[in-house]
Amino acid sequence: MGSLALFLGLLIFSFISTSIVIVPFIDLLYNLKFQRAQQVTRDVFGKLTPIFDKFHGKKAGVPVGGGLLVILVVSLLFAMFLPIMGFLGISVTSVYATPVTEVNILFFTFLSYGILGLYDDIKKFFGFGKEKFFGLKAPFKLFLQVVLAVIIACMLYFQLGISILHIPFIGTFDLGVFYLPFAVFVIVSFANAVNITDGLDGLASGVLMISLFGLWFLSASILDVPLSLFLSLWIGSLVSFLYFNVFPARMFMGDVGALAFGATLGVVGLLLGKVVALGIIGFVFVFEVATSLMQIVSRKVWKRKLFPAAPFHLTLQAHGWEEPKIVQRVWLMQIMLTLFGVWLAVI
């Protein structure tokens, strides 16, 4: 009970800390002109996105980069509080023999993907020559994500010794060296899934917040203090960001947040050994990226669109659904998915 009270207190402290600096941070983004200024947008392949522009053109000028603030606040608080946990009467227990490695993996994922996303955002908004507003080219961006994921997968496999996959109702399997490509796939998939889902005000951040509550419960149930601390601080900061990200948004998370949050979400699932449960908890992200992939394949192979627009939330908008209606109903669905995923993880 003492640990739970402490983690709840740190969650609130993270929320307050972020809330204190978030308005000055938004002003800073305006001053730096770190915002979408164009009325016509393109996807990662350089194609025009008329349906997106129809519903989101009015959002031009809203600052982007809120994810950077969350990364900074969470990283600083995590680095500050973890060393003093013992003085607060909390034993820094972990399911791994080397908790320091677990911490290093969390830090590396959170920061490295954040830096990659920040660089992509900078290229989009300030541009270099003909690439202005396009960001990193899709193949190169994916290559960098895979390189980072390979490093993380090697840390999980060689340093922490993780190589198993648990499938509820079926059993636990040792993947051996094949765990490496599996982990890379999970990390890269979730990094891009969160990025693609981040298209409506409060959609990705709200779904992520609910997902993290479920993963936080699982980490606390196995007494993994570093992971529980990290998730507490992350949730608290994310709630503060979400206040300014709901419709009508005053700030977007940007690639700096989406890539970092998605990759770290995948890593948390790998650290918990609950990847199947993560697939349920993160099903909204999985579904959104799946619809985008199906759309791409359909256009390449059959030369026609499978959906009016992709990802799927744009199809709902094309059918006349209002943005807040989509987001709120997805949040309700996400609550049930998280409960179902947690249930699967604990049975």
Q: Which residue has the higher pLDDT, 89 or 206?
A: 206
Contact of 307 with 291, CB cutoff 8 Å:
yes
54 in any annotated domain: no
| Nearest-angstrom CA–CA distance, 135 and 39 | 16
- What's the pLDDT score for residue 337? 98
Across 69-78, 227-236, 306-315, least confident range: 306-315
83 in any annotated domain: yes
311 in any annotated domain: no
Q: From residue 312, how far is each of 148, 266, 343 by CA, in Å?
A: 28, 21, 27
45 in any annotated domain: no
**Mean pLDDT to the nearest integer, 6-23:** 96
- What's the pLDDT score for residue 133? 43
- What's the pLDDT score for residue 43? 56
Q: Hey, which residues does 252 pair with through a beta bridge?
A: 64
60 in any annotated domain: no
- What's the pLDDT score for residue 129? 45
Each residue's pLDDT tens digit, 252-288: 999 999 999 999 999 999 999 999 999 999 999 999 9
Across 20-34, 126-140, 263-277, least confident range: 126-140
159 burial type by CB count under 10 A (0-12 exposed, 13-18 middle, 19+ buried): middle
- What's the pLDDT score for residue 135? 62
Chain-wide mean pLDDT for the chain? 90
Contact of 270 with 156, CB cutoff 8 Å:
yes
Top-ranked range on mean pLDDT: pick from 1-10, 37-46, 165-174, 281-290:
281-290
130 in any annotated domain: yes
Model confidence, pTM: 0.93
Q: From residue 258, how far is each of 69, 195, 220 by CA, in Å?
A: 12, 5, 25
- What's the pLDDT score for residue 299? 85
- What's the pLDDT score for residue 98? 85
Q: From residue 141, how far is each of 34, 119, 148, 193, 300 by CA, in Å?
A: 20, 10, 11, 14, 20
Q: Which two tokens stand for residue 330?
A: 């997805």
Each residue's pLDDT tens digit, 300-346: 888 888 888 889 999 999 899 999 999 999 999 999 999 999 999 98
Q: Which residue has the tokens 């627009």?
A: 309
317 in any annotated domain: no
The yes-or-no verdict on residue 132 having pLDDT over 50 is no
**Mean pLDDT to the nearest integer, 147-176:** 94
**Mean pLDDT to the nearest integer, 10-28:** 97
- For residue 148, the one-letter residue type is L
250 in any annotated domain: yes
The yes-or-no verdict on residue 86 having pLDDT over 80 is no
Indicate the pLDDT class of residue 130, thresholds 50, 70 and 90.
very low
The number of distinct structural domains making up the chain is: 1
- What's the pLDDT score for residue 5? 86
Contact of 205 with 70, CB cutoff 8 Å:
no
For residue 63, is the peptide bond before it cis, meaning its omega torsion is within 30 degrees of 0? no
**Mean pLDDT to the nearest integer, 70-76:** 98
Question: Which domain covers residue 169, as residue numbers?
Answer: 2-36+65-288+323-346
